[in-house]
Amino acid sequence: MNPFRSVGRRVGALLLFACTLLPGSAYALDYFKNIKDIRVVGIERADQNTVRYYIHSKKGDVYNADTVAEDIRRLYKLGFFDDISLDLVEETDGLVLTYLFAEKPFIRQIKLEGISEIKDKEILLRVKTQKGTFFRQDLIPWDETRIQQVYRNKGFYFTDVKTVVRRLPDNLVDVDFLIDEGKKINVARIDFRDATRFSPQTLRGQIETSAVSWSSFLSDSGAYKKNALKTDLLKLESYYHDHGYIKARFDDPEVEIDKEWRSIYITFPLTEGEQYRVGDITVQGDDIYTEEELREKLTLVKGDVFNKTQFRQDIFAITDLYAQKGYAYANVIPQLDINEGDKLVNIAVRTEKGRKIYIGAITITGNEETRDRIIRRQFRLQEGELFDSAKLRRSRERINQLGFFNSVDIEQRSAAEEDTVDIETKVDEMNTGQISFAVGYSSVESVLVQGSVKWKNLDGRGQEFGVTVDHSARRDDYSLNFTEPAIFDREILGGIDLYNKTYEYDAYKSVTTGGSLRLGRSLSEYIWAKLGYKYELAEVQILNRDTASSYLLLQEGRLTTGSLFPSLTYDSRNDPYSPDQGTKLYLYAEGSGFGGDARFYRLIGEWSNYQHLWNEFIGMGHLKIGRAAGYEGKPLPITERFFMGGPSSLRGFTIRDIGPKDIRGEAIGGEASLLLNVELQYRFTRFFRGFLFYDRGNVYGDNDEVGNTTDQLYDLENMRHSWGFGVHFFSPIGPITMAYGFKLDQREGESPNEFHFTIGGAF
C-alpha cells in the first residue's frame, strides 16, 4: 500500500472530525458523552488481546481525541497494519468507537534462490523478514544488506541480492530473495610497510585478517572483512605499545582488489618510532595504603620495556585495592612524563580515594524458576554493608558455580541515596531438569544405554535429585540420590543415596547394593568438610569356577560393609562447566568396621589445576593417589581395590591392561594407585571444548602373579603412559566425553589404542 495514501486517509479522517466540531454542522457529535463501546474490525491474523492492550481508551471514560490519536500511533508501531482509521458513532447512551484495521500481508514462505555456497539456515537466522509474520517492506533493504554481509564474511565480496514479493489470495505473500553469489575473493597477501622492529610473520599473528591457506576450507581464514580491519589496526598498535614503541602509529590499510585473479592485497602502512623504557616511578601513599603497599601492585619496574597494557592492569589493581576498602569510586591518577632524550617514561601515581560507598538495594532478575533466596544466599555482601569489590567478584563466582545459569551479570548502579550503590544481578537460567535417554559406545562395554531423570535445581529450591539407569554388556547400575545444599539456608549440606551396581569383569561379576547418608559444612570460602555413612551388601560371583584362580575363588561370596567416609574439598575453580583458572583439592578417607563384616580402609587424594594460557587455550593438570588395605587380619575385598584404565583415568588402556593380575591373567586390582593427567584444552564455547592429553599411571599390589606391575608402591619408574585427543561437551542429556587414546608402551597382547565414550563428569 502506498504510504502517502495511508497518511492522506488519516489526515482526511482528522479533517472530518474537525468539521464535525464546527457550529451548526449537521454532523456535530456530543464529544462529552462517555464511551459506550469499543469495537475492533478487520483483525484476522493479529492477536485481538494484543491490539486491545494498546488501546488506552476505555469504556465508561469521556471521549478524548488525544488519547485516540496516541492509540493509533502505538498500534502502528506494532508493524502489523497498513492502515488504521476510526469510526465514531453517537448513540443515545454514549459514543461507540470502532477501530478499522487493514492488516499487512502475511508471509506464507521465504525462498532463497541461487544459493549454493552457504546453508539456507545461516541466512534465514540473520534476516528480519520471517515466515509466519507480517510483511514489512521497510525491512527488505536491511535484509538485503545483511545477506550481502554474510557472504562478505565468507569472501564473496560482490554478491548481489534482489527481492521479489509475490502477492497471493487471502492477503498472503511469498518473499523470494534472488541471490547472485558471484565469485569468492580471498585475501592473497598481507604486508606491513616500513616495519623493521618485528617480522611480518609476527605481525600477521596479531590480527584477525589472514591470507588464504591450505586450511581455509576448515574456517573463514582468507576472507576479507572490512570491519575486522578496524580491530586489526587497534591490535597492531597495542602490540607495538606493549613493546615500548609508544609512538607507533598505523594509517588506514590500503586494500587492492584484483578481480581477474579474485584476490585482495592488503598493506598496513606504519610509523614505528623508538622504543621507550620505564624511568623513575613515584607513588603517593595516603591514610589507607602506604607507598610500599601501593608499589607492590606495580609489576613494571625501572628499566623494563614500557608495556601499556601491563601498566593499565597495574592501575586497575591499585583501584581495586581501594574498592576492597569501600572506595568504589576511587580515582587512581597516573601521570606519564616522557624523557625524549633518554627514551624513558617516568611514572607518577596518586590516588583520590573519594567517599566510602555502601551497598544499597540488591536486586535479582531473570530467575523465573530459581527462588530469589537461593541466589541471594550466595552473596558475600549484604545490603547496608561497606562496598568490597573482592566480595562482589566472589559473589558472582558463587552464583555461577551453582550450575543453574548460562550467564551471570552483576552491575553496579547509582542509588537514590548518597554514598550508596545498588547491585543489579541478571541471570540467564538454563534447563536444570532433565529427562534423558542416551546411547553410546565403548570398546570395553560395547553399547552403552543410559536413562535418567535429574534435577539440579528441584522446584527452584537449589536441591538436587536424580534417578539414573546405566546398562551395557558389562554394567547394570541403578541409583537414586537427593541433596539439600543449604539446610535451613545455612551452609550445611545433607544428602541420601540408594544404589545397586553390577559390573561383569572377565572372570567374575560384582553386585553391590547399598545406601548412604551425607552431611557437610562450609569451613571457609573455598573449603567444605563432609562426613558420610554407608552400608553395603557386596556379592562376588565367579563366572567359571573351573578356570578361576585360587585368589578369585577366595573372593567369592557375600560381604556386608558399614563405613564412615569423611572428606575435605578445596575448590577455587571459576566455572563449574569450563574452568580456566583455579584449583580443586579433594581428600577422602573411608574406614569400615561400623557395622558389617568387612575391615578395611581407603585413602584418596586428588588435585586438579586449571590455567588460562592464551586466547582460548587452557592447561589442565590432574593428580590422583590412592591407598587401601585390610586390617584385623582381614583382606582388602576385591570390590574395594583400585582399578585403572578407561575414560576417566588412564586413557588408551582398559582395566585389563593395568595393575595386578592373577595366575590366569585376570585383573584383580591393587592396594595403591597413582595417576597423572595433563591436558591442553581449547574452548570453542563454554559448553564445548577439545583437548590433547598425556596420561601416566599405574596400580600397585602384592598379589600380582604374572609380572604386570610391582609391589613397590608408587614406583615412578614403573608406570604406563599414553597420549591422545578428544572432546568434552555439555549436552541436554548431561556431560559427554569422547576420547581416543594411544599407548606409548604397548605390550604383547594389548591393543595399540582405545576409544572411550562416557556420559558423566570430567576432571
Per residue, the 3-state secondary structure of 407-428, as one string, reads EEEEEEEECCCCCEEEEEEEEE
pLDDT in tens, 684-715: 888 889 999 999 999 999 888 888 999 899 99
Confidence band for 29, pLDDT divided at 50, 70 and 90: confident
Is the domain of 333 the same as that of 399?
Answer: no
| pLDDT(25) > 70 | no
Within a domain: 463:
yes
pLDDT in tens, 100-147: 999 999 999 999 999 988 889 899 999 999 999 999 999 999 999 999
Is the domain of 391 the same as that of 457?
Answer: no
| pLDDT(736) > 70 | yes
Is the domain of 416 the same as that of 480?
Answer: no
pLDDT in tens, 495-539: 999 999 998 888 889 999 999 999 999 999 899 999 999 999 999
Within a domain: 436:
no
Please give the share of the chain, as a percent, with pLDDT higher than 70: 92
pLDDT in tens, 557-586: 999 999 999 999 999 998 877 889 999 999
Q: Which CATH number covers residue 750?
A: 2.40.160.50
Whole-angstrom distance, CA of residue 484 vs CA of residue 377:
14
Q: What pLDDT shows up at residue 440?
A: 60
Within a domain: 435:
no
- Report which of 350, 349, 345, 347 is spatially closest to residue 281, judged by C-alpha positions: 347
Is the domain of 158 the same as that of 123?
Answer: yes
Q: CB neighbours of 377 closer than 8 A, spacing ≥ 6?
A: 486, 489
| Domain end among 352, 371, 402 | 352
| pLDDT(35) > 60 | yes
Is the domain of 47 the same as that of 87?
Answer: yes
Per the structure, the complete domain to which residue 404 belongs is given by 358-429
Is the domain of 720 the same as that of 571?
Answer: yes
Q: What pLDDT shows up at residue 762?
A: 41
**Three-state secondary structure call for residue 394:** helix
Average pLDDT for the chain: 89
User: How many CA atoms within 13 Å lie on the side-chain side of 432?
Assistant: 22
Q: CB neighbours of 442 closer than 8 A, spacing ≥ 6?
A: 448, 472, 647, 755, 756, 757, 758
Strands 331-339 and 475-484: unpaired
| pLDDT(416) > 80 | no
Q: What pLDDT shows up at residue 596?
A: 92
Please give the share of the chain, as a percent, with pLDDT higher than 90: 66
C-alpha cell at 465: 535429585
Q: Which CATH number covers residue 381?
A: 3.10.20.310
Confidence band for 6, pLDDT divided at 50, 70 and 90: very low
Confidence band for 675, pLDDT divided at 50, 70 and 90: very high
Q: What pLDDT shows up at residue 700?
A: 96
| Domain end among 123, 153, 180 | 180
**DSSP H or E run through 19:** helix 3-20
Q: What pLDDT shows up at residue 732?
A: 62
Within a domain: 438:
no
Within a domain: 567:
yes
Is the domain of 631 the same as that of 707?
Answer: yes
Q: What pLDDT shows up at residue 473?
A: 78
Within a domain: 313:
yes
Q: What pLDDT shows up at residue 28?
A: 64
Is the domain of 37 the same as that of 132?
Answer: no
Within a domain: 754:
yes
* H helix intervals, 102-220: 120-124, 140-152, 200-204
Q: C-alpha dihedral over 564, 568, 574, 575, to 10 degrees?
A: -10
Is the domain of 551 the same as that of 692?
Answer: yes
| pLDDT(215) > 70 | no
Domain tally, the chain: 6
pLDDT in tens, 264-286: 999 999 999 999 999 999 999 99
Is the domain of 567 the same as that of 684?
Answer: yes
Question: Which parts of 340-491 are beta strand (E)?
Answer: 344-352, 358-365, 405-414, 420-429, 433-442, 446-458, 463-471, 475-484
Q: What is the separation of C-alpha 391 from the centre of its chain, rounded to a whole number of angstroms?
A: 22
| pLDDT(9) > 50 | no
Q: How far is CA 96 from CA 26, 34, 41, 370, in A?
A: 18, 9, 13, 47
Q: What pLDDT shows up at residue 19?
A: 40
| Domain end among 382, 397, 429 | 429
Mean pLDDT of all residues in 39-51: 92
